[in-house]
Chain A
Amino acid sequence: GAVVSQHPSRVICKSGTSVKIECRSLDFQATTMFWYRQFPKQSLMLMATSNEGSKATYEQGVEKDKFLINHASLTLSTLTVTSAHPEDSSFYICSSARDRNYEQYFGPGTRLTVT
């Protein structure tokens, strides 16, 4: 149990376009979902925390108008990178958490390349 999927696994887009990444918890209801960004050979950087049905809480320095997060249901969260630029190229990882479990379940990640 506790499987989290991400789609797509890899995406290449042109500068100026928008890209949507989906994160699904397949076999449980996630009360909280997290979006991370990981630069090469570095740890994960938390971008935002979202609870179902409410607005996401963004970390300092993360542009909420550029990285749009929608947590429409207990099993689905989406991250949209708007007007992508080459510096947005990165590995994006989502995770889901259940109440009183204190464990996050991670998706396999999405490699975004902006050309």
Chain B
Amino acid sequence: AQSVTQLDSQVPVFEEAPVELRCNYSSSVSVYLFWYVQYPNQGLQLLLKYLSGSTLVKGINGFEAEFNKSQTSFHLRKPSVHISDTAEYFCAVIPMDSNYQLIWGAGTKLIIKP
């Protein structure tokens, strides 16, 4: 069985400071990895994804993530956050042998302090 762990339920950070949201996964098969963002009272939007190739993936809104296979991690980073980045961030994986079914982490709420 696969699982995704987001170690922090909330991450408070000052505006213009860097941030890292952590994500680890467990799987017996190879996976595709995703980060989604959910702004208040809205649906989910894809930030970035890793399917293959370079392990450093750049996404929208200045976010990037690095796939580390040995540590089974896919941490999300941004060098300088803005108030508009306040949202819930979800890490998810799709096992390569599945019907596109996403396995979700519990989410991390990013709180930007002015």
Contact = CB atoms under 8 A, between A and B. Distances in A.
A43 B100 contact: no
Nearest to B96: A102
Contacts of A104: 100, 102
Nearest to B106: A43
How many chain B residues sit at the interface, stated as a range, is: 20 to 34
A43 B90 contact: yes
Contacts of A11: none
B32 interface: yes
B101 A102 contact: no
Interface in A62-91: none
Contacts of A35: none
B29 to A, nearest CB: 14
A27 interface: no
B7 to A, nearest CB: 14
A106 B32 contact: no
B107 A42 contact: yes
Interface of B: 32, 34, 36, 42-46, 49, 51, 90, 94, 99-102, 104-107, 109
